[in-house]
Structure 1
Amino acid sequence: MIKIHPTAEVLTKSIGDGTMIWQYCVILSNAVIGENCNINYNLFIENDVIIGNNVTIKPGVQIWDGLTIDDNVFIGPNVTFTDDKHPISKNKDYELLKTVIKKGASIGANSTILPGITIYENPIIGAGSVVTKNVSEGATWFGNPAQKRNKN
């Protein structure tokens, strides 16, 4: 059973069974959301978005066009995904860069993910990190800019 809070504006019909969408979410019509997801309150999800199964997205996150999130991903509160390397108002040269978050990734609160990045399977991104390049599989990354670190 899909649960959608009455304050959420959900325009998509592509939502998997067992997904919960909390208060004050806006989800546009072409977004695809998998099964057993926890879409916390105060989120915005654009059209060209695919979210896999068993994904948790905490409050205050915007999921922009061109973002794919695979299964079993955790996205902490206020993670910021960007969609333009050269943001200016009314940019006529805007180029949509695809961002991919692979299976099992965990992204800590208040991290910023630049556009066109791939975060490979099962890494941990520490809270407050600024991810400026691809993140390797199974690694721990943190800092500004985020770098691969040893687990302690």
Structure 2
Amino acid sequence: MNAYITEKVHFFGIKSIGFFSIVGDEKMSTTIGDNAKIGRYCIVEGDVIIGDNFEMDDYCTVYQNCRIGNNVKLLYGKKIYGKSMIGNDCIIGGHIPERCILADRVTFMGEVAHSHYNPTRDWNTTDEPSPVIGEGSIVGVNAILVGGIHIGQNCYVSAGEILRTDLPDNTIFIKNEIKEIKYFKGLIRTRY
């Protein structure tokens, strides 16, 4: 096992580490908590704080200025982009865009697309809002969240859906409709 370190890094009881890189300049500090499992060919950029019991499958990347809680699992090849904040007990199976916020116990298996309201602007100057996903919510496989929407607590976005609007607490988005989750009791479970 190899670790390529190019900056100030604090490791606390790493359980296992693959061929792993941490990149940034010497002014940046990165902290990885106790009992982390980091797969092969992973990259963590500078100024990142990662909590305890973090699991990062092979070929994953965590970009600069991210904050990640305890007991988070980042699945194979996924990326968490800069300035994102991930709560505790989350499962990440889709790419997380810049500035995205996930509360505790979120399962995210979807994707995010920005609205691109002004397509004439340079890509790097467009700072559109990113989604906020509330505690205990689930975003299903290949579901697409468009723009800076807010998903409330205990919500469920069904697989393959395209969501362009906010979801109130305790709702499900299925077949392009918002419904109260209580009508699906026993069929659909959230993590709340």
Bucket of the pairwise TM-score, normalised by the shorter protein: 0.7 to 0.9
Asked if the contact 2:97–2:130 (Cα under 8 Å) also holds between the matched residues in 1, the reply is no
Could you say which residue in structure 2 is the equivalent of 1:83?
Answer: 114
Could you say which residue in structure 1 is the equivalent of 2:173?
Answer: 141
Could you say which residue in structure 2 is the equivalent of 1:7?
Answer: 41
Could you say which residue in structure 1 is the equivalent of 2:52?
Answer: 17
CA distance in 1, matches of 2:68, 2:123: 29
| SS of the residue 2:50 aligns to | coil
> Is structure 2 residue 61 aligned with structure 1 residue 26?
yes
Runs of 4 or more above 6 Å deviation? none
Asked if the contact 1:6–1:23 (Cα under 8 Å) also holds between the matched residues in 2, the reply is yes
Under a length normalisation based on structure 2, what TM-score does the superposition of the two structures give?
A: 0.70
| SS of the residue 1:63 aligns to | coil
> Is structure 2 residue 101 aligned with structure 1 residue 71?
no
Aligned residues: 146
Asked if the contact 1:84–1:94 (Cα under 8 Å) also holds between the matched residues in 2, the reply is no
CA distance in 1, matches of 2:111, 2:49: 24
Shift of 1:84: 3.9
| Pair 83,48 (structure 1): closer, same or farther in 2 beyond 3 Å | farther
What letter corresponds to residue 148 of structure 1 in structure 2?
Answer: I
CA distance in 2, matches of 1:108, 1:98: 18
CA distance in 1, matches of 2:163, 2:139: 10
CA distance in 2, matches of 1:26, 1:87: 29
CA distance in 2, matches of 1:36, 1:93: 34
Could you say which residue in structure 2 is the equivalent of 1:39?
Answer: 74
Bigger relative contact order, structure 1 or 2, given CA contacts below 8 A and separation 6+? Answer: 1
Identity %: 22
CA distance in 2, matches of 1:123, 1:93: 32
CA distance in 1, matches of 2:159, 2:83: 26
| Pair 6,64 (structure 1): closer, same or farther in 2 beyond 3 Å | same
What letter corresponds to residue 20 of structure 1 in structure 2?
Answer: E
Could you say which residue in structure 2 is the equivalent of 1:126?
Answer: 158
> Is structure 2 residue 84 aligned with structure 1 residue 49?
yes
Q: Which has the larger radius of gyration?
A: 2
Asked if the contact 1:25–1:44 (Cα under 8 Å) also holds between the matched residues in 2, the reply is yes
What letter corresponds to residue 43 of structure 2 in structure 1?
Answer: E
Asked if the contact 2:101–2:132 (Cα under 8 Å) also holds between the matched residues in 1, the reply is yes
Shift of 1:93: 6.4
Shift of 1:72: 0.2
What letter corresponds to residue 68 of structure 1 in structure 2?
Answer: I
Under a length normalisation based on structure 1, what TM-score does the superposition of the two structures give?
A: 0.87
